[in-house]
Amino acid sequence: MVDTIVVGAGIAGITAARLLHTAGQRVLVLEARDRVGGRIWTDRTAGFPVDRGASWIHGVTGNPLMGVVTALGMETREFTVGSFQAGGRPIADYDESRRLLDDDATRQWATDVDTADGLFQRTVAASGPDESYATAAERTLAATGWDAERVERVRAFYRHRTEEQCGAEADRVAAHALDEDTIEGEEVIFPGGYDVLPRALAQGLDVRLGRTVTAVGRSARGVRVDTEDESFEAARAIVTVPLGVLKAGAITFTPALPDAVAGPIARLGMGVFNKVFLQFPERFWQDDVYAIRQHGRAGVPWHSWYDVSAVSGKPMLLTFAGGAWGQEIEQKTDEEVVSSVVGALRKIYGNSVPEPVAHWITRWGSDPLARGSYSYVAVGSSHDDHDAMAEPVDGVLHFAGEATCGREPATVHGALQSGHRVAEQILGSRISLAELTQGVTPSR
Ligand SMILES: Cc1cc2nc3c(=O)[nH]c(=O)nc-3n(C[C@H](O)[C@H](O)[C@H](O)COP(=O)(O)OP(=O)(O)OC[C@H]3O[C@@H](n4cnc5c(N)ncnc54)[C@H](O)[C@@H]3O)c2cc1C
């Protein structure tokens, strides 16, 4: 019998397992996939890394993840545009008629978003858990007194913001959902691929791949964890599977989970956010931009493209599909998705836009081991619901993962902090995060 069984080898599970292992516990990690990392997933089939899951550290200042990444010697590149900003870095903005905004119009646009955001924060401060992001946005826009076109541009931006940051439509997302979504300092991405992080931290741990957990039973003596064909016993378990997997009831808990945990699981939302990478034979877009953005109604369904050429070393654009559109593309063939994205780019850049030479399309909503991309505060829930999930059940069952981190849900650093927190909970003492990288050599 081991001390702790960790279910799921994403960054939360690996962090908890490593800290407990370093503290002298016998730890077993059960992971259904044939790899570690979960929603950190670097596809290297083309000979260069393509991050199909997380790409960014959203704000390096004061971020504990940055310390871990630095200790592992991981190469980073500044790319401060990963949180759906309107300004701050060069963006080629196109208006409703697909004309490039000049410098003055671009500045005005960024100022409009700042002004609206200031008003929006005041609206949200006065809203309860049952108000949606969409209604708070409408109340804000009505207060601006701007003309219809100016309002529509910011309205579309707000809609896209929840689709990207929450993976859900603004009318499903709580007005307070993005309260925590502040970026401190620059954002960075990983030219060598994000998966270096979980692979390095998993070194030396007993991680059993290909083990799908189907049931977790608990008693005063500890836990019994069943996979499809084996059972394991331990003093306790830490379940780190995504919220979507818990919501789907893919793991049976006996006895049933108490309301204190089952309630938040039911109330919080699991969003869908997919990525489409297109590699082109040559560049046809501006040299010096971080992103290309189509404003207003013309930005439906594709509105933002990120120039990731510097990461792959190839002419490459990344675009996103979040919320209902993110779900819809999962039903389409690759050819349909690619032709739809290329069609939108041709409306901006003309028919000379070449056919892509390669593409990568994710389908996180239909992935049975994720059932979505990340959690969000749905109408009727609150950030406290995230943290409530992390309260131990009967002293032997713990939950961790991005969905359990009220301060930073839906992020890699939130997942990492949840793994750190649960390890401290179990050991009953503070642990320095510096211990996480002790004795680890970066695997490339
Ligand atoms: C497309 C996309 C883009 C993103 N971009 C960013 C970004 O740029 N920056 C950022 O900070 N965050 C981003 N995120 C969010 C980030 O990836 C996640 O918050 C984080 O990786 C979650 O880690 P976790 O350990 O909580 O969960 P996971 O990584 O999902 O780990 C849970 C593990 O449990 C396993 N599992 C599931 N069911 C079972 C079962 N029954 N038995 C055993 N194992 C099981 C899964 O296979 C998985 O490995 C993105 C996510 C997606 C999908």
- Into how many domains does the chain fold? 1
How many angstroms does the Cα of residue 346 sit away from the middle of ligand 1? 34
The answer, yes or no, to whether any atom of ligand 1 lies below 6 A from the CB of 9, is: yes
219 within domain boundaries: yes
Angle at 178 between CA 371 and CA 116, to 5 degrees: 135
The answer, yes or no, to whether any atom of ligand 1 lies below 6 A from the CB of 65, is: no
The answer, yes or no, to whether any atom of ligand 1 lies below 6 A from the CB of 374, is: yes
Give the pLDDT score at 179: 85
Question: Is the Cβ–Cβ distance between 417 and 444 less than 8 Å?
Answer: no
74 within domain boundaries: no
The answer, yes or no, to whether any atom of ligand 1 lies below 6 A from the CB of 372, is: no
How many angstroms does the Cα of residue 333 sit away from the middle of ligand 1? 24
Give the type of residue at 34: D
Give the pLDDT score at 424: 98
80 within domain boundaries: no
Nearest CA to 413 out of 174, 209, 213, 182 is that of: 182
SS3 326: helix
Question: Is the Cβ–Cβ distance between 399 and 265 less than 8 Å?
Answer: no
Nearest CA to 9 out of 32, 42, 41, 25 is that of: 32
Q: Report how far residue 52's alpha carbon sits from residue 69's, in angstroms, rounded to the nearest whole number.
A: 19
Judged on CB neighbours under 10 Å (0-12, 13-18, 19+), 104 is exposed
- Determine the atom of ligand 1 nearest the C-alpha atom of 214: 41
- Determine the atom of ligand 1 nearest the C-alpha atom of 15: 25
66 within domain boundaries: no
Most informative mutation of 7, 35, 39, 52 for ligand 1 (most atoms within 8 A of CB): 39
Most informative mutation of 238, 241, 251 for ligand 1 (most atoms within 8 A of CB): 241
> In which domain, by residue range, is 247 found?
2-40+194-269+370-437
Six-digit token string for 369: 């081991």
The answer, yes or no, to whether any atom of ligand 1 lies below 6 A from the CB of 13, is: yes
The answer, yes or no, to whether any atom of ligand 1 lies below 6 A from the CB of 415, is: yes
Beta strand 273-279 with 316-322: parallel, antiparallel or unpaired? antiparallel
- Determine the atom of ligand 1 nearest the C-alpha atom of 227: 42
How many angstroms does the Cα of residue 242 sit away from the middle of ligand 1? 6
Give the pLDDT score at 263: 98
Six-digit token string for 415: 């997942």
CA distances from 346 to 97, 164, 298, 353 (A): 13, 23, 13, 6
Six-digit token string for 45: 């089939």
- Determine the atom of ligand 1 nearest the C-alpha atom of 419: 25
Give the pLDDT score at 439: 86
Six-digit token string for 359: 């593409």
Among protein residues, the one whose CA lies closest to atom 26 of ligand 1: 401
How many angstroms does the Cα of residue 228 sit away from the middle of ligand 1? 22
Most informative mutation of 374, 375, 404 for ligand 1 (most atoms within 8 A of CB): 374
The answer, yes or no, to whether any atom of ligand 1 lies below 6 A from the CB of 8, is: yes
113 within domain boundaries: no
Judged on CB neighbours under 10 Å (0-12, 13-18, 19+), 9 is buried
Q: pLDDT truncated to tens, each residue of the chain (444 aa)?
A: 899 999 999 999 999 999 999 999 999 999 999 999 999 999 999 999 999 999 999 999 999 999 999 999 999 999 988 777 777 788 999 998 999 999 999 999 999 999 999 999 999 999 988 999 999 999 999 999 999 989 999 999 999 999 999 999 999 999 999 987 777 889 999 999 999 999 999 999 999 999 999 999 999 999 999 999 999 999 999 999 999 999 999 999 999 999 999 999 999 999 999 999 999 999 999 998 999 999 988 999 999 999 999 888 899 999 999 999 999 999 999 999 999 999 999 999 999 999 999 999 999 999 999 999 999 999 999 999 999 999 999 999 999 999 999 999 999 999 999 999 999 999 999 999 999 999 898 755
The answer, yes or no, to whether any atom of ligand 1 lies below 6 A from the CB of 369, is: yes
148 within domain boundaries: no
Tens-digit pLDDT profile for residues 423-443: 999 999 999 999 999 989 875
How many angstroms does the Cα of residue 9 sit away from the middle of ligand 1? 9
Among protein residues, the one whose CA lies closest to atom 1 of ligand 1: 53
61 within domain boundaries: no
Residue listed under structure tokens 């992080």:
197
Give the pLDDT score at 77: 94
* Element housing 397 (H / E): strand 397-399
Among protein residues, the one whose CA lies closest to atom 5 of ligand 1: 54
Among protein residues, the one whose CA lies closest to atom 33 of ligand 1: 8
CATH code, domain with 210 = 3.50.50.60
Contacts 24+ apart (CB under 8 A), 65-73: 65/412, 65/413, 65/416, 67/433, 67/434, 68/197, 68/201, 68/416, 68/433, 68/436, 68/437, 69/197, 71/434, 71/436, 71/437, 72/196, 72/197, 72/200, 72/437, 72/440, 72/442, 73/442
393 within domain boundaries: yes
